[in-house]
Amino acid sequence: MNGPDILVVDAGSSSLHLTVLGADGRERAARHLTEPPGPETADTIEDFLRDAPPVGATGHRLVHGGPHLLRPTIVDDDVRAELDRTARLAPLHMPPALTALDATRALLPDVPHVVCLDTVFHADLPLAARTYAVPREWTERYGLRRYGFHGLSYAWALQRTAGLIGRPAGSLHVVLAHLGGGCSVCAVRDGRSVDTTMGFTPLEGLVMSKRSGSVDPGLLLWLQTSAGLTAVRIEDALNHESGLLGLSGMSGDTRDLVRAGARGDSKATFALDVFAVGVRRGIASVAASLDRIDALVFTGEIGEDQPEVREAVCSGLGVLGITGGLTEGNPPEDAVVSPRGAAVPVLVIPTGETQQVAAETRHTLTRRAEDR
């Protein structure tokens, strides 16, 4: 396989991952930081590139593409301006990602930069599934719709699932659960996203590490009109102080909570119980968009690394033909973890967002060359 090495830049609200992948998909250099991009990011990337192999293109993982960026796209000034307009829809994720994008474009001005967007996987959600039941005037004036997220993770997991169970991705009806710092569930019918739990922003849906997920909108109005909380305060609390952290009062990390629960910490156990109920609700809700469930797939940091959570989720889904009794521990690679003969196989697919960004970047460059 020929082609240039690709630099993949994955910048989040609390981390920065830099990876160079060869045309064969193998990692040639990597650096992972546990701080978000900031003023020193250009120096960090420059230092990384000094020791890494030369790259012929850069792929950037971005959470939100908004209403106009509907496929992986080479960045020019117009695209960059559109990303600024989209940033307010994902205020935790987009600003640090754009900081890293700008730094990399300045350091590598002569190579193409491709933005690979989590929303693209859900761009063709059925109209009924992506529409909010709010006044039509709001929908049309403000462009309100459910976008869905974690699309790069889902695209990777879908292809790996097809390979593992030996069926074409385009024929599958599967439920994919990305559980990590952010959490969502997606229903895929015949290779296409048809429902998902995240919506206009990455705050909707399941309980997450520090994010609340969905809450009654009436509750939020009451907090403003009766309790006197400002919109800014509510937004901060829902994004940073809620979820597993808010429930437990100690941590948003399921590993900490599992250990604390084993020591008898009732708040940790309660937080995990609420989380599992939320994931089961999400799986059941999106499954209603399928004719059958060919597989339930776990991915993301929690999905692939927390067997206790997988077991808690699956043991409560008997109504969907999904059962517990999963393989203990974590498989080192793609694997079926449900008992032999299970009506619905349960799979664990290690997250592959970096590899998916590299693949989409290469495809975008090939498409551009063919169009010339």
Cβ neighbours of residue 270 closer than 8 Å, sequence gap 6 or more? 247, 248
pLDDT over threshold 90, residue 208: yes
- pLDDT-derived band at 345, boundaries 50, 70, 90: very high
**What is the value of pTM for the model shown?**
0.95
Percent of the residues in the chain that have a pLDDT greater than 70, as a whole number: 99
Evaluate if residue 164 carries a pLDDT over 70.
yes
Q: Helix 217-225 vs helix 231-240: angle between axes, to the nearest 10 degrees?
A: 130
**Distance from C-alpha of 345 to C-alpha of 321, rounded to nearest angstrom:** 10
pLDDT tens for 19-67 read 999 999 999 999 999 888 889 999 999 999 999 999 999 999 999 999 9
Distance between CA atoms of residues 303 and 20, nearest Å: 25
Q: Check pLDDT > 80 for residue 326.
A: yes
Tell me the helix, strand and coil percentages in the chain, rounded to 5.
Answer: 45, 15, 40
Is residue 265 among the annotated active site residues? no
Please tell me the distance from the alpha carbon of residue 279 to that of residue 183, in angstroms, as a whole number.
9
pLDDT higher than threshold 90 for residue 256:
yes
Residues in the chain: 372
User: What six digits make up the tokens of 172?
Assistant: 């599958």
Question: How does the average pLDDT of the chain come out, rounded?
Answer: 95
Q: Which 3 state secondary structure label does DSSP give 75?
A: coil
**pLDDT the model gives residue 316:** 97
Angle of helix 254-262 relative to helix 266-287, nearest 10 degrees? 130
Q: Among 5, 24, 43, 118, which one carries the catalytic annotation?
A: 118
Query: What is the band of 1 on the pLDDT scale with cuts at 50, 70, 90?
Result: low
Average pLDDT over residues 303-321: 97
Per-residue DSSP letter, 120: G
Q: Per-residue pLDDT tens for 209-255?
A: 999 999 999 999 999 999 999 999 999 999 999 999 999 999 999 99
Neighbours of 337 (CB within 10 A): 21
| Spatial strand order in the sheet of 6-11 | 27-33, 16-21, 6-11, 57-62, 113-117, 73-74
DSSP string for 265-300: -HHHHHHHHHHHHHHHHHHHHHHTTSS--SEEEEEH
